[in-house]
Structure formats: C-alpha cells, structure tokens
Amino acid sequence: MSERSAGPVGILLGVVLLGAVAAFGIALPKATGDDEDREAAAPVELPDTLPHGLVAQDTVEGPQGEQYATVQGSAVAGLEEIFGAPAALRGYAARGGAVQATVTVLDRAPGLFDPHGPPIDPEVLGMERSVYELRRVGDAVCDLFWQQVVPQGAAVDEAADPAALQCQLGVGDRTIELFASGMSIEDAADVLESLAQDQ
C-alpha cells in the first residue's frame, strides 16, 4: 500500500467512502432515536484485517493513515448524527490497491435496499444483462455494477467479476454494508460472512 501516491489514494478514498455513505442515505429510513438510545447501544467495531488480504487503510503509518482516520471519523460522526445510532466505517485495500473496499456498520435494522432500482428481468428490457443487477448473495443483497449492458442474444460471461458491488446484510438489529471495487462476488460473500461472525 505504501507504493501508492497520495493523489490516487485520496481519489479512491473519496469515491469509496462517498459510495458507502450515500448507500445508507438511500437504503435506510431516517432515524428517530435520541442520544440516550445511542449511548446505551453497544459500540460498533471493525477489524484491522478481513479475508482475501484486505487491510484497514488507517493502519498505514504516516500522513496517509492519518488522513484515512480523519475522513473515516468524520463519516462516522455524520452517520451517527443522521441515524441516531452507533456506527463504524473503515476503508480497506488489498493487492497493492487493486481491491478497494469500505465497510459500514450501523446499529439499526436494515431497510429497503435497491440503490439502482428494483430487479427487473433484463429480458423485459430487451437485453441479456443490465448494467446493474440486484442479486442475493448468501444472506446479503448485493447491487452489482457490470459496466456494460449485455445485448439480447449475446453470451454472458458468468466467470467475470463485476466492476463494483454494494451489499447490505442484516445481523439482528445491525446493518452491515460493503462497497467494493475489484472484488469478486465470492470474495464479497466471504468478507460479509466474516463481518457477520464478529457482530
């Protein structure tokens, strides 16, 4: 991770964190809890490492790690103010930055999750696969971004990984969201399962 320059790191951090925070704004209902409820809830914590080589970016020594920690702290404060519940957010990277992920956890039961609209059968729209696909992955629901439409009659490459994915998983009254690029669906399922076991 130290090989990455500050410019690309800042851009990637901003994009991934923005996607994760926007997901909560779209998917979860506005909170009505008060400060007492927030203080009474158990703290939300995220690990330094996750499956498939993902390492928390705020563990990087020096200014980069400090920048990540500052941005993440601001995002958590914003989430807790909006939803009135304890939250945690942490950015991760693997394979020299080829995989970027943000995990957000909120002590609130999950709500409706369809960031790019409901799961309409692509055949109804005259194609084999849409750019966005809403799919159940284990116990989670994932919004997959395929970058390109697969026209009707063309073969779908089932072995290809999505360009990006966004998943929501409910664990009791806690919501876990994963926003990632460069990650396979199978790896996302492993990461979500690991996070669920920690809750």
Does position 58 have pLDDT exceeding 80, yes or no? Answer: yes
- Tens digits of per-residue pLDDT, 145-178? 999 999 999 999 999 999 999 999 999 999 999 9
Strand, helix or coil for residue 72: helix
Taking CA atoms, 115 is separated from 64, 98, 165, in Å, by 30, 24, 11
Q: What is the pTM of this model?
A: 0.81
Report which residue type is found at 15: V
Report which residue type is found at 131: V
Does position 2 have pLDDT exceeding 70, yes or no? Answer: no
Does position 33 have pLDDT exceeding 60, yes or no? Answer: no
Percent of the chain predicted with pLDDT > 90: 76
Does position 96 have pLDDT exceeding 50, yes or no? Answer: yes
The beta strands (E) that lie in the chain are given as 49-50, 54-56, 87-94, 99-106, 127-129, 132-137, 140-145, 150-151, 164-171, 174-181
**Confidence at residue 19, expressed as pLDDT on a 0 to 100 scale:** 52
**Confidence at residue 44, expressed as pLDDT on a 0 to 100 scale:** 83
User: At residue 128, what are phi and psi to the nearest 5 degrees?
Assistant: -85, -40
